[in-house]
Structure formats: C-alpha cells, structure tokens
Amino acid sequence: MNVVVCVKQIPDPADPGQMDPETRTLKRDVKLILDESDSYGVEMGLQLVDAAGEGEVVLVSMVPNSEVGGLRTALAMGAGSAVLVSDEALAGSDALSTAKVLAAAIRRCEPDLVLTATESSDGYTGTVPVQIAELLDLPSVTFAKSIEVSGDTATVQRQTEDGYDVIECSLPCVVSVTAGVVEPRYPSFKGIMAAKNKPVDELDLAALGIDPATVGWTGARQEIVATAEAPAGEAGEIIHDEGDAHERILAFLDDLKIL
Amino acid sequence: MGISKIWIYGESTGGVVSTATLELLAKARTIGDTVEVVVHGDASAVAAELGEHGASTVLSVGELGDGLPGPRVASAMATAIDAGNGPDVLLFATSYDGRDVAGRLSAKIDAPVITNVVDLTVDGDRLLGVESIFGGSLDISTGFTGDGTAIFLVRPKSFAAESAGGAAAAVDSLEGGDLGNTGGSTVKDRFAEESTGPKLDEAAIVVSGGRGLGSAEHYELIETLAGLLKGAAGASRAVVDAGWVPYSYQVGQTGKVVKPAVYLACGISGATQHLVGMKGSANIIAINKDEEAPIFGVADLGIVGDLHKVVPKLIEALQARA
C-alpha cells in the first residue's frame, strides 16, 4: 500500500513569528522544521504500511526555497521518499493555490491513500485537505481518530461534536488526521543516518505544468487591506502563592456570585 | 449597491439549528438585502427558527442518506453559482462540516476562502473578513480582489445569536450534480460519548489544564474541579497533542473558542494558539509556576504557584462547602 502524507515545513512555533511590514505576510526567512501536526499523519501512514506488509510512505511538500530540514525528520521516522515542489513563485500562496500544487504532485505518486493534518500550525486555514480531495476527484474524511484499511476500503473514526462517526470510504481517498490520536515515533539514530540518503525528488512548477502566475503573490486573489493593534486589556492582579492562593480564588468567584 | 444576497450554510441536529448558524444569521441580516440558508435534511423542520432569525428562504439540497455533507452541499451550491443564481457572499461556521463544504466548494468554483474570521465589515461593495493573529494582539482585515462569490469561514462565538422576530422562511430546493468519486464516503455508525455537565463552548465556567499538569493522570484534577464548579473541562493543545484527552477538549486556535463567565487556566503558559480561544472570557484566572508566562498578560487574577498545590486545596475547600 502506498500512502502519501502531505507535510508542511514551518518556522519553529517556539520562535514567535513576525510580520513583514511590506508584504504583510509572515516572515519565512528562518529555519523550517516539520510541523508537529504532520507527525501524526506520518506515524499513521507508517503503521498502515506496516499492517499492509508492503508499500511505503511518500512525503509531499512545497516550499519556495528548497528547504528539506523538516522532510528529513519525517524520513528519519521511516518515510521512504519525498516529493518536494520547490519554486520561488510559491511564496505567498493561499490555501487553494497550495492545494492545486500539492494535488498535482500527489497525482504523480498514484497513492492508495492520502493523509494530511487537519490544519497547519502556522496558517491553520484547515481547507487544504478537502480542496486536494476535490481537485483529485476523491472522497475524503476529515478529523480522523483512527484508520483501518481492508481491501479497497478505509474505515475511519471521524471526530464529531459529541463523539465520533464510523465512516467507510473507498480508496483512493484523502483523510485528515487529528493531532494526538497516535504517538509519533522518535527517529532512531539509525533512522536519522538513513534519512540523509533517502530520495527527495525536487520539482519546480514547470515540471508540474503549473503556471507560476496562478500561485504565490501573483495568484493570490485576496489582499490584506488593513491591520490594527487590538486594544490591550487592563492588567489584572498577580499574586504569589503562599499556601493560601485557593482562598483568593474562592473570594474572586464569590465576588462574581458565580458559585 | 452594497451586498445584495448572502447565503449561509445552515447546520442543525434533530431539527434544532446550531448556535453558530444563528450567530451568522444575526450578522448577515445587518449586511445583506436578502439572507438565505442552505441546508440538508428536513428544511421544513428548521424554516420557522431560521426565519425568526432573519432568513427569507431555506434552500434544501435534500436528504443526505448515509453520505457526508461536504460533496453533496458543495455540488448543489456550485451548480447554482455556475448558473448565475449564486449569492454575493457565502458564510460558513468553522465547524467540522462547515470546513468540508467550504473547501470542496472553493475547489469546485475555483474561488479562494477567507478563513478564521472573527468579524465582518463592509468596505464599499465588498465584505472584509477580520482575523485576529499573534494571540489576538493584531487584527487584520482581508478582502477578495476579484469578482465572484466571496466565501468566508467564520469562527463560532464571533457574533451574538439573536431573534429578529421574523416570519417562517420559505422553503425551496437546490439541486446538485452527480457526485462521482467524491461521494465515496458513507456513515456506518454514530457514537456519542457520555458526558456530564455543560458543553465546553456553552459552559459558564471552564477549567482548562495544560502541560504543567505533568502527566495524563493529573488531568483528573481538572475534571474534579470543573465538576465541583458545575463547569466544563478543557485543555491546551499540548495536552491534546500528547493524547491525554480527546481533541474535543481543546481550547484555542485549533479547537474551540470559549467565552465563559470564568475561565480558569491551570498549568497553561498561554501560547498565542491558546489565547485566541479564550481571551474573550469575561473573567480569567491563571495558575502557573512561571511568573513570565504570557497567560498572566490576559489574567484578571494570576496565581504564581504550583497547580499541584493550589488546585487540590481549592477542590478540598469547594467540597467542604458542598
């Protein structure tokens, strides 16, 4: 079974982002890491390939600048190879353009199953998984808690407001994986060494037959027209616990007459 | 000429319209000349409530059977839009199904979506979506540059649902096309998890736990405290990603927006991701060991201390009162 896992390389969330005042988008000139949200899909894909006893996990990703740091992390976890669409023209791409590029790259892989996160940790639009499915004319299941594959059918537990639905979906299909539902493996030393030699197929937009004018800044059909500092709230009272902080909390709640 | 026609994707369970749908109606009726709601299932069961909240017409795509809403609803909307019968603006709530429909529709009609909207403002003939970024410290307003249907995904709790005293909406149908492969997902079973107490996004008091809990078994402290306060238990993303509690507990950018009367954050540092989901709470209490934690920047009462000492004492005191 061949599983494509879409992964995004993002600036380290522990290192807060900055907005470029000229382009009004997030600055991207920092080192990129694997979006932690994607590690669950990678783990899920590896488990499904293991269960099937054949096939491999192929990563699909896009960047403007050939960055592979985050891909190496997922390759070290056990993914077999990666397809990286890298083209300067991709900078500033919106979600739909992103989905078009990823869909074109995924089509070349002819996967049985496409896994994604529910949303990225830096853009969090959450629309790319279904946009990819629609562009590839595939069924989809979002917010998966678990996936089992049998023959040409995936059985997926889908998160709902008050529980979960069991969804059957014909393969190939696109499934977005909810964070926290599997424990992503840590790359072993052997895995890290092996990852250095795993194939990363780097493609530009021309190789995918995509007109650069339809993606990135030039292809974006939305614009930020204003930015405003949100009004800061009043500073609250900060106390150090001397063993009686719980009483202070109770008094606070009592004042609100909420208990 | 302004904005003439707005469509809202209407969600309901058992004939009861979702609060997020009513919130969108409350805003839409102040912006558009005509507001129509696109639903699946029994339109006549929701026509009165939707009309009361400002919808003139309910457009039904019919029964889904065991299919998922995404492909069916998007197909019907796209068919109308392609035929020139679509709206100027289409609003979706950021829900599981709302994102599915909006994403599918976006790809079908080749129109981008403005997401994570917390407010809508009129700018001449177009609508702008306001998004709150960097933990709510910066508001950005985004608009579409081209013609065509303007699609917005709006976060729940951005507007207050309020009756407009309108008459029941008219019911009409909206036909879609053949779904082809995209209709290949079917619902086989549904499971509701047992829950006691109020829902996370409706509770007057929310008690949330973060990484400071240290391990999964300590989450019980949060549930006990929430139970005693007759509130709901929530969690930060770190706790959900670690698998300690399900995704449905998550408060934040990824997760639920809550605006309770009291939000009690235990062992949560206050990453921007989390602040976006709770900073609208009327009163915020935070317990954290790190004096420098950003959560104290939004707290009305901040306790610099160990939650493992403070929370058990709080639980004990509340139990003594009961």
B114, β-bridge pairs: B152
A5, β-bridge pairs: A59, A115
- Report the gap between the CA of A226 and the closest CA in chain B (Å): 5
Q: Return the closest-CA partner of residue A176 out of A18, A45, A52.
A: A45
Nearest CB neighbour to A221, from listed B146, B205, B321: B146
* pLDDT value of position A162: 80
Contacts of A124 in chain B (CB under 8 A): 115-116, 253-254
Closest chain A CA to residue B279: A233
Is B285 within 8 Å of chain A by CB?
A: yes
Look-up of token digits 């996936």:
A147
Contacts of A252 in chain B (CB under 8 A): 283, 285, 300-301
Nearest CB neighbour to B247, from listed A138, A180, A182: A180
Instruction: Lay out the sheet containing B301-304: strands in order across.
Output: A237-240, B301-304, B283-288, B262-266, B205-209, B232-235
Contacts of A186 in chain B (CB under 8 A): none
SS3 B302: strand
Q: Report the C-alpha dihedral over residues B162, B166, B167, B173, rounded to 10 degrees.
A: -70
CB pairs under 8 A between A and B: 274
- Report the gap between the CA of B184 and the closest CA in chain A (Å): 5
Phi, psi dihedrals of residue A120, rounded to the nearest 5°: -80, 160
Instruction: Dig out the tokens for A245 from the structure.
Output: 């902080």
Question: B-contacting residues of A 100-119, CB under 8 Å?
Answer: 118-119
Closest chain A CA to residue B108: A134
Look-up of token digits 């009043």:
A234
Q: How confident is the model at residue B167 (pLDDT cuts 50, 70, 90)?
A: very high
Question: B-contacting residues of A 193-232, CB under 8 Å?
Answer: 220-230, 232
Residue A17 has pLDDT above 90, yes or no: no
Contacts for B104 with CB less than 8 Å, ≥ 6 apart: A130, A131, A133, A134, B70, B71, B74, B75, B182
* pLDDT value of position A257: 86
Cβ of A164 within 8 Å of Cβ of B138? The answer is no
Contacts for B217 with CB less than 8 Å, ≥ 6 apart: none
Q: How confident is the model at residue A121 (pLDDT cuts 50, 70, 90)?
A: confident
Mean pLDDT, to the nearest integer, of B177-185?
Answer: 94
Cβ of A141 within 8 Å of Cβ of B68? The answer is yes
Contacts of B287 in chain A (CB under 8 A): 241, 245
Question: A-contacting residues of B 289-318, CB under 8 Å?
Answer: 291, 296-306, 309-311, 313-314, 317-318
Q: Return the closest-CA partner of residue B183 out of A156, A107, A140.
A: A140
Contacts of B128 in chain A (CB under 8 A): 225-226
Nearest CB neighbour to B184, from listed A119, A166, A173: A173
The amino acid at residue B143 is G
Is B146 within 8 Å of chain A by CB?
A: yes
pTM, to two decimals: 0.92
- Report the gap between the CA of B35 and the closest CA in chain A (Å): 24
Residue B36 has pLDDT above 80, yes or no: yes
What average pLDDT is seen over chain A?
Answer: 92
* pLDDT value of position A26: 67
C-alpha–C-alpha distance, residues B236 and B278, integer Å: 10
Instruction: Check: CB of residue B5 under 8 Å from CB of residue B56.
Output: no
Contacts of B248 in chain A (CB under 8 A): 159, 161-162
Is A125 within 8 Å of chain B by CB?
A: yes
C-alpha–C-alpha distance, residues B169 and B272, integer Å: 41
Instruction: Check: CB of residue A27 under 8 Å from CB of residue A92.
Output: no
Q: How confident is the model at residue A259 (pLDDT cuts 50, 70, 90)?
A: confident
Cβ of A258 within 8 Å of Cβ of B317? The answer is no
Cβ of B243 within 8 Å of Cβ of A173? The answer is no
- Residue A109 CB neighbour total at 10 angstroms: 17
Residue B1 has pLDDT above 60, yes or no: no
Look-up of token digits 């990819």:
A132
Per domain, the residue ranges of chain A are: 3-219
What average pLDDT is seen over chain B?
Answer: 94
Cβ of A226 within 8 Å of Cβ of B70? The answer is no
Is B26 within 8 Å of chain A by CB?
A: no
Q: For B109-142, write each residue's pLDDT tens digit.
A: 999 999 999 999 999 889 999 998 776 778 999 9
| Positive or negative: CA dihedral B202, B207, B210, B215 | negative
Which domains, ranges and CATH numbers included, belong to chain B? Answer: 5-183 (3.40.50.620), 205-321 (3.40.50.1220)
Per the model's pLDDT, the better-predicted residue between A201 and A21 turns out to be A201
Nearest CB neighbour to A221, from listed B132, B145, B303: B145
Across B36-57, b (16+ Cβ under 10 Å) vs e yields: bbbbbbebeebbbbbbbbbbbb
Residue B239 has pLDDT above 90, yes or no: yes
Cβ of B296 within 8 Å of Cβ of A238? The answer is yes
Q: What CATH number belongs to A3-219?
A: 3.40.50.620
Mean pLDDT, to the nearest integer, of B287-292?
Answer: 96
Nearest CB neighbour to A130, from listed B100, B115, B297: B100
